[in-house]
Amino acid sequence: MSSGLHIRAAHYPGRAPIDAYGNGGFRFADMSHRGSILCLPSGIHGWTATSGQGLTDADLEKVIAEAAEIDILLVGTGVELLPLPRPLRERLRELKVAVEPMSTGSAVRTYNVLLAEDRAVAAALVAVE
């Protein structure tokens, strides 16, 4: 017998292209997620970031943990391109992960192309309205 409702962290255990974005979320693998997401080798995870401004190592903890399996990280910073803080760029460079900030729309399109090419790509995507 169940002891009540169990809420788990949002997670899709696989790699999948992003079918749509906007209205505060994303659609992929016949599912939808409200909020930002991390697309990693381990799967697609819900992400608490609401802005691409001022991201830190802590915001990309899951990315850093999987860095050995990632060659390029696309960071969708929202509606417009925002630069990543120097300490974060340097940390990713130390881990040999190339990082490319861009608008979320551009990041989604680029992610889908690189994923289709079976590249070692990851994406941190801030949801847009």
State the residue range of the domain holding 46: 11-125
pLDDT at position 9 is 64
pLDDT at position 96 is 98
Give DSSP secondary structure letters for 37-58. EEEETTEEEEE----STT--TG
Residue 90 lies in a domain: yes
CATH number for the domain that contains residue 78:
3.40.1230.10
Cβ pair 78, 103 in contact under 8 A: yes
pLDDT at position 68 is 98
Residue 3 lies in a domain: no
pLDDT at position 58 is 96
pLDDT at position 8 is 53
pLDDT at position 11 is 81
pLDDT at position 105 is 98
Ranges under pLDDT 50 in the chain: 1-2, 6-7
